[in-house]
């Protein structure tokens, strides 16, 4: 881990001469999402960098109102300093401007003005009064008071409870990009009074904070220390997270070959099943792809981008991610890693709540369309159901997306718009047939889609195809606890038989439907 890179490892070809600047890749570990891999060149003390940091004077007594104006406009647009800065500038550069410590160059001023939607002249204009400056001062002071209050509360906690609380808060602060406060909280912990798991987490977060504050060398020191200690050998998953951040620290110091080697070690642990968190795997693959692309090795980058995209379904399926998190929590619990077990257990709960909320929202969208239809407003119902299909697709709620299509197809059948009804029914059927291209294996939904498809075929005069759909639907629904839908299938098949002059068979179908309806609670005997 202490390997010293050769001189040719210092800078990739595209950063020589006058080549165009490139945005550094950023994607953070799941335990602490943030932007990794900023180099020492992000430090405002460096006038030139791979970002082509604009020149500015470190001592600028006459900075004028530009800092206050940028602060006020940024807050009005609800932008963070990171969002305003990326990709050309660092957060510390923006912070220094807003606090009046430095003066931006005209080129930097033009970039910031365009990003804020104003002209450079407006950023240089004197404020009519001092209200904005006062607001900013109060805001900064309030933030500092809150930080002091948090630290004060934590200092009062007893040793056994302090470490879990501090580490939990630090993980949240890193997500919020509050690295200074995270660093202060970490100072409350002493390796002498915490367990091995907590000690490794301490080193991990020290590396994370150091990297995000532009101290990549300090991050490297902390993480190489963690990976070298035998006492941490039983914490394989957390060690791989340390290795990942270490690779980012190497990259931030332009040690590209060493960074690639370390990222690759992480991918090997993923392939061997040491790491099972799909989000962490995505981050590793993405960062390695970005590094190879940056080094001009596009073919290799494509391979790792494809690996990253293989984790696509977890982004749209919180239930699947919750199941993976629950499994990781159980693994940590079995290994007596209580802090990480609790963290992944909490993530599981949040993801399941999210999944339930998404389903409730999309079901509301579908049911609103059905309710409008019940009220006789066919056009409004159609518009709502089309919107529900799109809504369900965007949120990735597959079952509700099928239900919305079936409901819309049934509405179109009632309006004799058979062609589009057929298309929607076929889409629904494809989405709920196990073993095909579907995402939901559900015989009840499949049966309902077949009934609607049978109606569409019947309207188009395809009676043989319609009959096959009705018979298959009845076969599926007979094995479900779905008397209402089965009765509907009998009625629709009976109507088809009657239309073909097969009245005796039609009568039998209607009789079957009547018997099922009589079994409903509250039905007359």
Tens digit of each residue's pLDDT (9 = 90 or more) over 239-287: 998 999 999 999 999 999 999 999 999 999 999 988 888 888 888 999 9
Output the pTM of the full model.
Answer: 0.52
Q: Tokens representing 66?
A: 């530009």
pLDDT at 486: 92
Backbone angles phi, psi at 153, to 5 degrees: -65, -45
Is 277 within the bounds of a domain? no
Q: Which residue has the higher pLDDT, 144 or 112?
A: 112
The Cα–Cα gap between 452 and 459 comes to 11
In a domain, 441, yes or no: yes
The C-alpha atoms of residue 350 and residue 516 are separated, in whole angstroms, by 41
In a domain, 445, yes or no: yes
Per-residue pLDDT at 261: 94
CA dihedral 471, 477, 483, 485 (to 10 degrees): -70
Give the pLDDT score at 180.
87
Q: How confident is the model at residue 61 (pLDDT cuts 50, 70, 90)?
A: very low
Q: At 25, is the pLDDT very low, low, confident or very high (cuts 50, 70, 90)?
A: very low
Residue 29 lies in a domain: no
> Which of 26-35, 142-151, 211-220 bottoms out in mean pLDDT, i.e. has the lowest?
26-35
Q: Which of the two residues, 105 and 263, has the higher pLDDT score?
A: 263
* 341-360 confidence digits (pLDDT tens): 777 777 777 777 777 787 88
Cα separation values, 190 from 102, 171, 194, 489, Å: 37, 18, 7, 70
- Residues 5/258, Cβ–Cβ less than 8 Å: yes
Taking a C-beta distance cutoff of 8 angstroms, is the pair 71, 101 a contact? no
Q: Give the model's pLDDT for residue 408.
A: 94
Question: How many CB atoms neighbour CB 141 within 10 A?
Answer: 10
Q: How far apart are CA 284 and CA 296, in angstroms?
A: 19
How far CA 403 is from CA of 109, 252, 400, in Å, comes to: 53, 49, 5
Average pLDDT over residues 109-124: 82
Instruction: Check residue 149 and give its pLDDT.
Output: 59
What is the number of domains present in the chain? 1
- Domain membership flag for residue 505: yes
Check which CATH number belongs to the domain holding 485 and give it: 1.25.40.10
157 class by beta-carbon count within 10 Å (0-12 exposed, 13-18 middle, 19+ buried):
middle
In a domain, 478, yes or no: yes
> Which of 176-190, 411-425, 450-464 bottoms out in mean pLDDT, i.e. has the lowest?
176-190
How far apart (Å, rounded) are the C-alpha atoms in residues 370 and 116? 44
**Of the given ranges (104-108, 113-117, 389-393, 508-512), which has the lowest mean pLDDT?**
113-117
Is residue 520 predicted with pLDDT exceeding 80?
no
Burial of 504 (0-12, 13-18, 19+ CB in 10 A): exposed
* Angle between the N-to-C axes of helices 298-309 and 278-294, in degrees from 0 to 180, rounded to the nearest 10: 160
Q: Which residues contact 399 (CB under 8 A, 6 or more apart)?
A: 359, 440, 442, 445
Q: Residue 497 falls within a domain, yes or no?
A: yes
Coil vs helix vs strand at 57: strand
Residue 79 lies in a domain: no
Structural domain that includes position 504: 433-518
């Amino acid at each position: 881990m202490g390997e010293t890179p050769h001189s040719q490892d210092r800078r990739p070809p595209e950063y020589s001469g006058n080549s165009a600047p490139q945005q550094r890749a950023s994607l953070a570990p799941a335990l602490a999402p943030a932007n990794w891999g900023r180099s020492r060149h992000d430090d405002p003390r460096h006038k030139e960098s791979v970002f082509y940091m604009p020149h500015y004077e470190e001592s600028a007594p006459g900075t004028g109102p530009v800092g206050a104006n940028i602060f006020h406009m940024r807050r009005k647009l609800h932008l963070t300093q990171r969002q305003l800065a990326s990709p050309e500038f660092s957060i510390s550069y923006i912070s220094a401007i807003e606090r009046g410590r430095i003066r931006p160059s005209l080129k930097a001023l033009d970039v910031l003005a365009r990003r804020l939607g104003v002209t450079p002249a407006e950023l240089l204009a004197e404020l009519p009064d001092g209200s904005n400056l006062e607001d900013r001062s109060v805001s900064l002071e309030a933030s500092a008071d809150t930080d002091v209050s948090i630290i004060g509360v934590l200092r009062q906690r007893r040793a056994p409870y302090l470490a879990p609380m501090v580490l939990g808060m630090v993980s949240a602060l890193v997500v919020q990009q509050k690295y200074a406060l995270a660093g202060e909280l970490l100072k409350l912990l002493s390796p002498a009074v915490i367990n091995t798991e907590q000690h490794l987490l301490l080193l991990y977060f020290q590396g994370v904070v150091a990297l995000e504050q532009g101290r990549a060398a300090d991050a490297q020191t902390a993480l190489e220390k963690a990976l070298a200690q035998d006492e941490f050998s039983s914490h394989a998953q957390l060690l791989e997270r340390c290795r990942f951040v270490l690779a980012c620290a190497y990259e931030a110091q332009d040690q590209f070959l060493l960074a690639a080697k370390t990222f690759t070690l992480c991918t090997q642990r993923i392939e061997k099943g040491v790491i099972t968190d799909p989000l962490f795997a995505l981050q590793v693959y993405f960062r390695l792809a970005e590094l190879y692309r940056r080094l001009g090795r596009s073919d290799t980058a494509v391979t790792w981008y494809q690996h990253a995209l293989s984790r696509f379904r977890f982004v749209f399926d919180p239930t699947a991610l919750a199941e993976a998190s629950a499994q990781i929590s159980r693994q940590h619990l079995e290994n007596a890693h209580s802090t990480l077990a609790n963290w992944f257990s909490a993530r599981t709960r949040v993801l399941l709540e999210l999944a339930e909320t998404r389903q409730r929202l999309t079901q509301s969208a579908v049911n609103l369309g059905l309710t409008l239809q019940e009220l006789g407003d066919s056009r409004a119902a159609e518009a709502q159901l089309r919107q529900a299909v799109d809504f369900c697709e965007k949120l990735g709620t597959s079952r509700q997306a099928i239900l919305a299509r079936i409901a819309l197809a049934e509405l179109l059948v009632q309006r004799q718009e058979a062609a589009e009804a057929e298309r929607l029914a076929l889409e629904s059927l494809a989405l709920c047939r196990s073993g095909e291209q579907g995402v939901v294996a559900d015989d009840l939904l499949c049966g309902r889609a077949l009934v609607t498809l049978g109606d569409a075929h019947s309207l188009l005069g395809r009676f043989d195809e319609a009959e096959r759909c009705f018979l298959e639907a009845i076969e599926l629904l007979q094995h479900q606890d779905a008397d209402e839908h089965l009765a509907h299938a009998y009625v629709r098949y009976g109507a088809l038989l009657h239309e073909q002059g097969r009245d005796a068979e039609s009568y039998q179908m209607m009789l079957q439907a009547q018997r099922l309806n009589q079994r409903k609670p509250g039905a007359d005997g």
